Amino acid sequence: MQAMRDLSKDASLLSLNTATVRKQWKLAEIIDGCVRHGFGGIGPWRDQVAELGLKESARRIKDAGLIVTGLCRGGMFTAADEAGRQAAIDDNLLAIDEAVELGARCLVMVCGGLPPGSKDLSAARSQVFDGLSAILEHARSVRMPIAIEPLHPMYAADRSVVNTLGQALDMCDQLGDGVGAVVDVYHVWWDPSLEFQIARAGRDDRILAFHVSDWLVPTRDLLLDRGMMGDGVIDLRGIREMVEEAGYDGLIEVEIFSEVWWVAEADAVVTSCLRATI
């Protein structure tokens, strides 16, 4: 058992997902903020990258010396008709190229919920699998790892029908090389099989990113009430230990969607992230 990494002495092990301060700062400011506060990485969202410009974003992030821990996001493969599913595939192929341009470690996949009007989870899950299959050859050819992010079961209807790490890893097993999973504590902390599945993911070298935030009690909103690390009930240290034991040695990405933190002063949010015990 190796010793856990000491985050308190090394902010460069942290990455800032840009959603965390997206209401306060544009991407250029977030890049500057990451540098100012000593973050080692950044996890940008495509809309923010598009606003600044792909090449300009890539140049600034590179100049800042930041690791792009993942580009958010591809996915959303589920659709009511064939045209919709093809449009999703086309967009994902673009996203892969954007991730390459940014030098991202992976492209994060939020796979998509039930198509409008559908109650067929099994069919939606097949659509996700087919979508991933359709983009994988291109992803492999440009060496961009595809990171399936299992989302909390409360998002099964409208965001992702991939809801457990085990389910994501089963898909990885079927898809083969070039695909892995994001372990986001917010989505997986409750899972009775978490330790087993993280160890499995490590053995197969499938852990492509590790995201942190916290689960607040009470949680007042399904989407926008994530907590700062330490403010909730997730055993962050326990899960990080599992992930590191499994061989993950990449950065730890802070991703907090919160109406509360979005109205705070951005430098204060970032400072809170750095002071939190993870």
Question: What is the contact surface with a copy of itself in residues (CB under 8 A)?
Answer: 114, 118-121, 125, 152-154, 156-158, 163-164, 166-167, 189-192, 215, 217-219, 222, 232-235, 238
With respect to a copy of itself, which residue has the nearer C-beta, 65 or 190? 190
Euclidean distance between CA atoms 74 and 46, whole angstroms: 9
Tokens encoding 199 = 């160890």
How near is the Cβ of 218 to a copy of itself at its closest, in Å?
7
The answer to whether the CB of 208 falls within 8 A of the CB of 147 is yes
With respect to a copy of itself, which residue has the nearer C-beta, 151 or 254? 151
The greatest distance separating any two alpha carbons of the chain, rounded to the nearest whole angstrom, comes to 51
With respect to a copy of itself, which residue has the nearer C-beta, 93 or 157? 157
How near is the Cβ of 14 to a copy of itself at its closest, in Å?
21
With respect to a copy of itself, which residue has the nearer C-beta, 63 or 235? 235
How near is the Cβ of 9 to a copy of itself at its closest, in Å?
23
With respect to a copy of itself, which residue has the nearer C-beta, 49 or 239? 239
With respect to a copy of itself, which residue has the nearer C-beta, 53 or 230? 230
How near is the Cβ of 259 to a copy of itself at its closest, in Å?
14
With respect to a copy of itself, which residue has the nearer C-beta, 201 or 270? 201
How near is the Cβ of 236 to a copy of itself at its closest, in Å?
8
How near is the Cβ of 1 to a copy of itself at its closest, in Å?
18
Q: What is the distance, to the nearest Å, from the Cα of residue 99 to the centroid of all Cα atoms in its chain? A: 13
How near is the Cβ of 128 to a copy of itself at its closest, in Å?
11
3-state secondary structure the chain: CCCCCCHHHCHHHEEEEHHHHCCCCCHHHHHHHHHHHCCCEEECEHHHHHHHCHHHHHHHHHHHCCEECCEEEEECCCCCCHHHHHHHHHHHHHHHHHHHHHCCCCEEEECECCCCCCCCHHHHHHHHHHHHHHHHHHHHHCCCCEEECCCCHHHCCCCECCCCHHHHHHHHHHHCCCEEEEEEHHHHCCCCCHHHHHHHHHHCCCEEEEEECECCCCCCCCCCECECCCCCCCCHHHHHHHHHHCCCCCCEEECCCECCHHHCCHHHHHHHHHHCCC
